[in-house]
Amino acid sequence: MATGREIDVLSEHFAAAPATFTTSPLYRALCPVVAGDRSTLELLTGRRPGQQASYLFFGAAHYLLLAGVAHPLRDFYPSLVGSSAAEPADAGPVLRDFCRRYRTELGELVRTRLVQTNVVRRAVALRYALWAIGQRCADPVHLVEVGSSAGIHLHVDRYRYLLGDRVFGPADATVSLDSRWLGRTPPPDLDDVPLIASRTGVDLNPVDVTDERARRWLRALVWPENQDAATLLHAALDAVATEPPAVVAGDAVRVCRDLGRGLPPGEPRVVFHAATRMHVPADRRVAFDRAIDSIGDGGPLYHVWQEPPSAPHGGHAADPRGELAMHGPDGVVVPLLRVDGHLRWLGPLDPAD
């Protein structure tokens, strides 16, 4: 039974959540509706520990609509009806009705699913970090992504990157990522990156990219207005499906030590995580950081992260604007870039550069 305090915390979360849905007028309009809907908030108390409630809830509703549920709520989703979508401001009562009618289905999804949004453009953050690592280390690296979801970023060396007026990556890539470069000077040479000697993901729930329902869940987590991100997601999932990377199933806290031991001793390893530490329950984050550090027991560790300011790497005061940061074997944190959460843009830390 949910406590009044739990419901209050969830209500406050939804009341504050419009600020995070920067590119979704629909979700911004619906957040206050959920904040005031006690019955839906009660459903959300059944979610798995650490899962961000608004991403999970909107993902669940979108999933049902994408699966073909016939309800007038679908008329508000550009992902379903394109540019004829109805005004977000009118969606509140329709959402409340949807939640009443599909309470069982929504409850099942929020209890069992995880926020696994695989944001393809975040590969450019990893690509930049690999360039920075290449400036410090000439050897091939073993790449580990913690919280890899479908494993899209593990193919970081197989995509084409359009950044400012420069292009990087193989010319025959089937996936092209475009991000805005905010620097006054051009980005560095992102073709100058270390070779990837091996690639391994770690996830609580590795996503089978050939499973239609698993793909639909990933699509549902893309906000309904972001059709370009959805198109990119489909292209990347198809690319990953041709050669799915190995992903170890389990909690990073439990599996990282053994994974590190399995890598060739003395060889450099890069651990990357994006939007993952933020979903680790607060009381597990120190253990999460230690588990990642343990991968460095067998060889030089380069640890790269892109997490929101609410969940920075332990002990590091994150830049509130959002950043990509790393540390090498000496443990000294090096902020690398300012980044948009979905990597629609990235740029030097100093806007004058």
Cα angle for residues 45, 221, 48 (degrees, 5° grid) = 25
Contact status, residue 38 vs residue 7, Cβ threshold 8 Å: yes
**CB of 29 or CB of 232, closer to ligand SAM:** 232
**CB of 115 or CB of 144, closer to ligand SAM:** 115
Contact status, residue 285 vs residue 277, Cβ threshold 8 Å: yes
Residue 122 Cβ vs ligand SAM, minimum distance, rounded to whole Å: 5
- 103-112 and 92-101 helices, crossing angle to 10°: 80
**CB of 44 or CB of 146, closer to ligand SAM:** 146
**What are 51's two structure tokens?**
């899962």
Contact status, residue 14 vs residue 54, Cβ threshold 8 Å: yes
Taking the CA atoms of the chain, what radius of gyration do you get in angstroms? 20
Residue 39 Cβ vs ligand SAM, minimum distance, rounded to whole Å: 26
Contact status, residue 119 vs residue 153, Cβ threshold 8 Å: no
Residue 40 Cβ vs ligand SAM, minimum distance, rounded to whole Å: 21
Residue 237 Cβ vs ligand SAM, minimum distance, rounded to whole Å: 12
Residue 343 Cβ vs ligand SAM, minimum distance, rounded to whole Å: 9
Q: Say how far apart CA 60 and CA 55 lie, in whole Å.
A: 9
At 285, phi and psi to the nearest 5? -70, -35
Contact status, residue 330 vs residue 340, Cβ threshold 8 Å: no
Contacting positions for ligand SAM (CB under 6 A):
114-119, 122, 146-147, 149, 202-205, 251-253, 274-276, 279-280
Residue 297 Cβ vs ligand SAM, minimum distance, rounded to whole Å: 19
**CB of 11 or CB of 205, closer to ligand SAM:** 205
**CB of 24 or CB of 88, closer to ligand SAM:** 24
**CB of 146 or CB of 163, closer to ligand SAM:** 146
